[in-house]
Chain A
Amino acid sequence: MLAERIIAALREIVSQKNVLSEPNQVKAYDCDAYVAEKSLPSAVVFPESTDQVARIVKLCNAESIPFLPRGAGTGLSGGATPRNGELVISLARMDKLLAVDFDNQRAVVQPGFVNLVLTKEIARRGFYYAPDPSSQSVCTIGGNLAENAGGSHCLKYGVTTNHVVAAKVVLASGEVVDFGNPFGDPVGYDVLGVIVGSEGTLGIATEITVKILKRPEAVKTVLAYFDHVDDASRTVSDIISSGIIPAAVEMMDKLVMQAVDKSRYHVGYPVDIEAALLVEVDGLSAGVEDTARRVVGICEKNQVRTVRTVKDDAERALWWSSRKMAFPAIGRISPDYLVQDGVIPRTKLTEVLRRIAQLSGEYGLRVANVFHAGDGNLHPLICYDARISGQREQAMKIGERILELCVDVGGSITGEHGVGMEKIEQMAYMFSATDLEAQRRLREVFNPRDLCNSGKLIPHPARCAEFRDTQTTAPQNLG
C-alpha cells in the first residue's frame, strides 16, 4: 500500500478518478494473461498524456516507489505482473490514433491504442498494420512494443521491431526522449531497437510511430490434414526450402483441433488426423494462384490425407478464428493450462514434437500443440488442473523441460511472449553469465535504480534464491 500522501500526489497529477488504490479495486491488476503467479499492485494509475506519465515516474523516483507499465494485460509471461507490489501505470486511457500519413505510410499512436483498431482505421485506404498477435483485437501497440510481439504473419512481414520506427519514451528517470527516425536508418546507436522488446524495463513509450503497409492484392489459404505429424513437419520444411515465402504457416495437433471444434469456431476437423496445416500465401493476384498450387503439390508429395484451398472469405475467417482462438479453446478440455513459446530451427520440428510427446507421457499431463510452424515458434499448451495438488508445479516443470529442449537443439526460450517472470530462470540456461552481464549493463544505463519493472527479463546476478522465495510466497495472493 502507498502512503495517503503519495495517493494524493498521484490524484493531483491524473485527477481523482484515474487512481485506484483499494485492494478490491486493484485486484484485477495482480497479473497479466500469465496467471500462474500473482501479486497485488500498490495502486493503479491511469495517465492520459506523456506529461502525466513523466510526472508519475518522477514521483516514483523521488519516493523510491517501484513501478511498471501495463497495456491491455494480455501478455503471456508475467511482464505486467507487479511481483514487487509495483505501482501499475496503465496506458489504457492513452488510446488515441494521433496521426496517419498514408502518402508516406506511417501512423502515430498512443501506447494504449489497440492493434486491430489501427488496421480497421486505415483499411478504407487499403492499408493495414502487419504484426498480428492472436490477441490483436484487444492488445495494445504499446504492449506490442514492450514485448516485440509477433503473430501468425510475421514469417513474411516481420515482428513489431521491424515495424516501429520511432517512439517518444518516458525513461525510468522520468525524462522524456524521442528515439528513432520515421524514415531511413538510425543516426547513432539504434537505441529504439533495444527498447522494443525490453518488456517495460527500460521506460514507457507514450507515442509510437509505425509503418503501415498496403494490403496484398490477393490472399490464398490452404488447409491440409495429415495422418502423421512427421508428414506435416516435412511439408513445412519443404515449402520453406522451395523458395516460397508464405505469409503464414500454422500447425495444430489433434488435441487442439478437438478443443477448437468444441468452440464457436467449428471447422469440423476429422477426428483421426494427427495434424492440420494452415498455409497462407499472398501477393499479386497474378502470382498467388500459382504459388498456392505449388503449396498443394508439396502437401501431396508428403502423404497429405486431404488438402484444399479456401472457398471464400467467410471460410478463411473461420479457419483463422479457429487458429487464433486455440488458446482460450483449450479451456474447454482442461481447467487450466500453461503455454510456452520456445523457438527451434525449423528442421528440428519432427524431433522436438516427438520429445514433447514423451515428456507429456512422462509427467502424465496432456500437451496440446498449436504453433507458427513456418518460423519454428512452438506453442505447447500444457494442460493441468490447479485444484489437484502438485499439478501446477508439474506443469511448470514440463514447461521448463521443453524450453531447455528448445535451447538444446539450438533455439530460443521465447519467440514472442517474452521472458517476463515466467522464463527468467531459463535465461541462464540460454545465455552464459557473461552474456547476461552485458544485458545487465544495458539495463543499468536506463534503469540504474531498478525501480522500473524490476526482476523481469533478465535475472539479477545473485537473486535466484530470492526469486524462488517470491514464487513460493506468491500463492498467498492467488485468488
Chain B
Amino acid sequence: MEESFQIPEQRIQDALMTCAGSDYVRVDSQLAARISGQREPVVSVFPGAADEVAAVLRLASQNGWKVAPVGAGTQLGFGNIAQPIAVAVRTERLCQVVDYSPADMVVTVQSGMRFADLQRLLASHGQMLGIDPVCSPTATVGGLVATGVSGPARVLYGTLRDMLIGTRIAFADGDLVRTGAKVVKNVAGYDLSKLFVGSLGTLGILTECTFKLKPLPLYRELCLLGGSITQVDALRKRVMDSNLIPSSLELLATEQAGHAADHSSTQWMLAVGSDEGEQAAAFQTRSLQQMASVVGASLTVLRQEEVVQFWERYRKTLEPSGLVLRIQAPPTQLASLAEDIAAFAAAHEVRAFHSFSLSSGTGRIFAKVTDVAAIIDLISAVRQRCGELAGVSVIERAPLEVRRHHDCFHSSRVGEGELAVMRSIKQAFDPRNLLTPSKYAGGI
C-alpha cells in the first residue's frame, strides 16, 4: 500500500516496529479514550529494554508525536486532560529486577515491574519498600513513582520521595540518563530523581528505579480507637505530643474499615499502629488505653496477621473508588476539615470515605461516582474550605467529566513564581512538549 493512503496511526505503527519489533506494537482505541478522552486511537508500543524506549522517543521527537508513558494503566484518572496522544509507551515488558543486594537494603528494578511482585520478592528477604498506597494489584513501580502515591504508613516511613535514590530515565529527545546512585546516601550532583516523583510522566519515561528499603516489621500491632471527631482529635494531639512511634495515625470513618465495631456509637476511628517490636507495641497499646479512657474513646487491639488483614481490607474497599481527592493542611486542622467534608458529602448525597494520615498533614477522600454533578459540587465545596485553611487539594482520580470542570491541581501555596520555574523545567527537558502535554499542574 502506498504511504499516502495509510491512516496516521498505521504509519506510526510501522515506524515503531523498527524500535520494538512487530509483535510489540498495536493500535489501541480503548486506551486512547482513557488517556485523554480522545477519539483518535493511540499506537501502543511495548519496549523490551531501556534503549528501545529511548529509540521510540527519538522517533516521536523527530515526528512530533505526542507520547504518554503507561504502566498498568490503573491510574490514568490522575491529571488534567492531556492533549491528544499519538503513542503510548507501555512499560509492562520492563519488569525485571536489575539489581538486588539484600544486605545493602537497596533494590533496582525496571519501571514496569508490578509493585505487588516487588513487595513479594522483598518480603522473601524480610524487607519491604515502605509504602502502602491504595492501588490496584497490577499497578507498576514506575506508575506509583510517577503518580507519587502514599498510604497510612507515610507517618513513619515517609513517602516515595524519601525512598527513590536513583533512576534511569529516557528523556523526550531519546537521551538515556541516570540520576542519583545505588547507595543509600549520595549528594553528587543535583538530586534530579526528586523531579520524577509525582511528575505524571511529563518530564521523561522512567525505565529503572532504585529504592532504599526497610526491614519488614517483625511484629505488628494496631489500636483502633473509636469516638466522636472531637475525641479522636484529642487522641491525635496526645499521640503527637508523646514519645510513641506510630506506624500509622490514620483517621477513618468506621464504616469504611469493614471492622465490626459498634456502628451506632462510633462514627470516627483512629488507627494507630506499631511496627517497633512486641515490647514496644505492648507499651504503646497500654499508653493508648490510658489516653482512650481519659477522652472516653473505645479501643480494639489487632495483632500480627489481623493487622495485615485490616489494611488489606481497607485497600480492597477503597481501590475501586472513582474519585480520589488528596487534601493537605496542618495536622491540627485535619479533623475539623474531615468533619466539614463529611457534611458536604452528606449534603451532596455522595458516599465518601475519609482516610487522613494525621501527623503528615495529608488525607484522602475516596468516593464512588454515581452522580458527576454532585462530585463536581463536592469538590468545589472542599476546595473553598481548603482555601480558607491555606490548604491544598489534588484530584488523584476522577472521571473525565469531573476533570474537564476542575483543575486537578489546586493549591493556595503554589504561586505564579513557582509555576514559572516548573514550566521552565518542563521546557528544559521536553522542549517540544511531547510528553503528556497539558496533563500537569500549571498547564504543563
Question: Could you tell me which A residues sit within 8 Å of B by CB distance?
Answer: 101-105, 126, 147-148, 150, 154, 158-159, 161-162, 166, 171, 175-179, 181-191, 193-194, 196-198, 214-217, 237, 240-241, 243-245, 283-287, 290-291, 343-347, 372, 375-377, 410-419, 423, 427, 430-432, 434-439, 441-446, 457-458
Contact = CB atoms under 8 A, between A and B. Distances in A.
A346 B189 contact: no
Contacts of B103: 237, 240-241, 346-347
B371 to A, nearest CB: 27
B362 interface: yes
Interface stretch (B24-32, B43-51, B264-272, B415-423): B415-423
Interface string B93-117: 0000000011111100000000000
B36 interface: no
B418 A191 contact: yes
A465 B156 CA distance: 48
B64 to A, nearest CB: 21
A161 B332 CA distance: 24
Which residue of A148, A284, A376 has the most chain B CB atoms within 10 A of its CB atom? Answer: A284
B191 A196 contact: yes
Contact of B187 (A183, A197, A442): A197
Contacts of A190: 161, 194-195, 197-198
Given A181-B413, A193-B161, A414-B186, 20 more contacts: A101-B330, A105-B240, A150-B185, A158-B162, A162-B158, A179-B418, A181-B328, A181-B392, A182-B361, A183-B361, A185-B326, A189-B198, A190-B161, A243-B216, A346-B103, A347-B101, A347-B104, A411-B183, A415-B185, A434-B176
16 contacts: A159-B187, A178-B413, A178-B417, A186-B161, A188-B442, A189-B441, A193-B191, A194-B192, A196-B191, A290-B279, A343-B185, A431-B188, A436-B189, A439-B189, A442-B428, A443-B190
B158 A158 contact: yes
A185 B181 contact: no
B277 A290 contact: yes
Contacts of B104: 345-347, 376
Give the one of A154, A186, A427 with max B CB within 10 A: A186
B248 interface: no
B326 to A, nearest CB: 7
7 closest pairs, A vs B, by CB?
A183-B361, A193-B194, A184-B328, A287-B280, A188-B441, A177-B417, A243-B215
Nearest to B424: A445
Nearest to B195: A189
A71 to B, nearest CB: 16
A193 B194 CA distance: 6
A190 B411 CA distance: 14
Given A103-B237, A179-B418, A161 B191 contact: yes
A345 B106 contact: yes
Contacts of A162: 158, 162
A189 B185 contact: no
Given A104-B330, A237-B103, A446-B421, A377 B361 contact: no
Interface string B227-263: 0000000000100111111000000000000000000
Contacts of B177: 434-435, 437-438
Contact of B328 (A158, A183, A438): A183
Interface residues of B, number: 88
Given A184-B362, A284-B284, A178 B183 contact: no
Interface in B379-425: 392, 394, 409-411, 413-415, 417-419, 421-422, 424-425
A410 B182 contact: yes
Interface string B158-188: 1101100000000100011111011111111
B255 to A, nearest CB: 25
B276 interface: yes
B189 A457 contact: yes
Contacts of B361: 104, 182-184
B188 A423 contact: yes
B188 A185 contact: no
A410 B101 CA distance: 12
B183 A376 contact: yes
B190 A191 contact: no
A411 B182 CA distance: 7
B188 A186 contact: no
Contacts of B418: 177-179, 188, 191
A159 B418 CA distance: 24
A191 B422 contact: yes
Contact of A286 (B101, B106, B240, B279): B279
B185 A240 contact: no
B298 interface: no
Contact of A438 (B158, B332, B427, B429): B429
B414 A245 contact: no
B207 interface: no
A431 B422 CA distance: 25
B184 A184 contact: no
Contacts of B410: 187
Nearest to B175: A434
B182 A345 contact: yes
A186 B332 contact: no
Given A175-B417, A191-B418, A414-B186, A240 B105 contact: yes
A176 B420 CA distance: 12
Contact of A412 (B175, B181, B241): B181
A444 B440 CA distance: 22
A431 B392 contact: no
Interface string B192-234: 1011011100010000000000111010000000000000000
B76 interface: no
A457 B188 CA distance: 8
A362 to B, nearest CB: 25
Given A177-B415, A181-B392, A188-B419, A343 B186 contact: yes
